[in-house]
Structure 1
Amino acid sequence: MQFNKPLIRGVLQKRYKRFLADIDFGEQQFTTVHCPNTGAMTGCAEPGFIAYCSDSDNPKRKYRYTWELSVNGNNEWIAVNTQRANQLAGTALKTGFIPELANITEWQAEQKYGEHNSRIDWLGRAGNGQQCFVEVKSVTLNDHGQGYFPDAVSTRGQKHLNELILMRQSGQRAVMLFVVMHTGINEVRPASHIDPKYAQLCIQAAELGVEFYAVKTHISDAKIELDRVVRFQLR
């Protein structure tokens, strides 16, 4: 996934009200930008981090710029725009990047499903007609190379796991795909120390046949691309 136009480099001053951040693009001229991330963003949004933003080039938009990337004090790159994870997941699924899912050739994004009229990130169909429901999560919480999800208690994440369990019990394939959007992370596991209910649901889901995969990305100010499949540990 290549950025359409060069990103604008600045220095993060603060993130606030979940969807806003102030960034200095030079000469102490702070600009308020859109933050496309509803999570806690632990370790991703410290004042002084380098921040890269895309420019909508739309003067009518309330916040012209969108925060895309951070670079922390260890020179690790972090993609903070969670929408990018879904795009990269689509590339991984459509190109057979994950061998276990390579037999599925038809993929559609944002399809309605489940008992609560939810939307699945990606819905696939194999040649035998079996459907495959894929929920995508962006992973940016890093602890010495270990990635964790979620970075805060996530009732929404718990709901998604329960719906994947129902899909699996109905005879379809159900997949949780974690996209690592932090270059310092080398494997992923549920954050049992943050959301023990979510972690326990992961174990329950796996026992019932829900599949778990994680892919790592390479990130730069020019593009974000798939790097490799990495280990996902339930415990």
Structure 2
Amino acid sequence: MRLPSPLIEGRLVRRYKRFLADVTLADGEMVTVHCANPGSMTGLAEPGMRVLLSRSNNPKRKLPLSWELVEADGGLVGINTAHPNRIAEEAIRAGTVPELAGYASMAREVRYGRNSRIDILLGGDERPDTYVEVKNVHLLRHSGLAEFPDSVTARGAKHLDELVDVVAGGGRAVMFYLVQRTDADRFALARDIDRRYGEAFDRAREAGVEMLAYRCTITEQDISVSEPLTVAE
């Protein structure tokens, strides 16, 4: 996925009210920017961190600048949770995810379950329709280990239970963990952060929901899926 160009460099002053951040630009101006991330962003929102922003061309936007990337642990991390579905879609279309390759059709945001929308629905061949839920991952507390979630997510547990219902109805269900950082080599659940999500994950895996985790390559120009990571039991 191509990022808006050019990105604007700054230094983080503070992140607050979940969706706002103050950033000092290179010329010394301090601006308030939109932070499209509802999680805790542990380790990614420390004052002084180098951040990269995009500028919207929409004149009606109250905050024209959006926080896209942060430099952490020597590499770039994608923090914009509006992007993972598109990144995953591009990877599936390109055949980068063999487990999800070869389907004739792809749809986004299709209604299913209990008043939910599936991120990606694959179909159009002799296989059962495949329901793919995409989750953004950027928490890394231990070297090389990407974890999800970084905060309590009742909505995430609900999605897992709905994927169980898909499998029970004869469909195929996949939870796709998109790791928007380059320094992870494996994936696990942060069970200490959200025990109930971990329990829902275990129920879903036992019921036949497939768990995939893929790491991204990230530059200041684009973000793309690169390779699979081991999903811990």
TM-score by length of 2: 0.95
Superposition CA RMSD, Å:
1.3
CA contact (8 A) 1:22 1:31 kept: yes
Is the partner of 1:221 in helix, strand or coil?
coil
> For each residue in 1:34-76, what CA deviation from the matched residue of structure 2 results, as whole angstroms up to 9, or x when unmatched?
000011111111111111000013343100100000002x222
Task: Return the letter of the residue paired with 1:43.
Answer: G
Residue 96 of structure 2 is aligned to residue 94 of structure 1 = no
Residue correspondence of structure 1 range 60-99 to structure 2 within 5 A: 60-72=60-72, 74-99=73-98
* Residue 26 of structure 1: how far off its partner (Å): 2.5
Is the partner of 1:199 in helix, strand or coil?
helix
Distance 2:124 2:226 in 1: 25
- Which residue does 2:146 correspond to in 1? 147
Distance 2:92 2:189 in 1: 22
CA contact (8 A) 2:91 2:224 kept: no
Residue 188 of structure 2 is aligned to residue 185 of structure 1 = no
Give the fraction of aligned pairs with identical amino acids, expressed as a percent.
40
Is the partner of 2:230 in helix, strand or coil?
strand
- Which residue does 2:14 correspond to in 1? 14
Task: Return the letter of the residue paired with 1:66.
Answer: S
Distance 1:58 1:174 in 2: 37
Task: Return the letter of the residue paired with 1:136.
Answer: V
CA contact (8 A) 1:103 1:126 kept: no
Question: Gapped runs of 5+ residues in structure 2?
Answer: none
Residue correspondence of structure 1 range 158-197 to structure 2 within 5 A: 158-197=157-196
Distance 2:181 2:219 in 1: 11
CA contact (8 A) 2:96 2:226 kept: no
CA contact (8 A) 1:192 1:198 kept: yes
> For each residue in 1:175-221, what CA deviation from the matched residue of structure 2 results, as whole angstroms up to 9, or x when unmatched?
00000001222211111111111112212111111000011111111
Distance 1:64 1:177 in 2: 30
- Which residue does 1:211 correspond to in 2? 210
CA contact (8 A) 2:69 2:77 kept: yes
- Which residue does 1:117 correspond to in 2? 115
> For each residue in 1:121-166, what CA deviation from the matched residue of structure 2 results, as whole angstroms up to 9, or x when unmatched?
0011141152111000010000211011000111010000000000
Distance 2:27 2:3 in 1: 26
CA contact (8 A) 2:167 2:208 kept: yes
> For each residue in 1:60-99, what CA deviation from the matched residue of structure 2 results, as whole angstroms up to 9, or x when unmatched?
3100100000002x22211000121111111122222222
* Residue 103 of structure 1: how far off its partner (Å): 3.2
TM-score by length of 1: 0.95
Task: Return the letter of the residue paired with 2:129.
Answer: Q
Distance 1:77 1:7 in 2: 13
Is the partner of 1:3 in helix, strand or coil?
coil
- Which residue does 1:36 correspond to in 2? 36
Task: Return the letter of the residue paired with 2:30.
Answer: F
Task: Return the letter of the residue paired with 1:93.
Answer: I
**Among 130, 134, 137, the residue aligned to 1:136:** 134
Is the partner of 1:21 in helix, strand or coil?
strand
Distance 1:129 1:179 in 2: 24
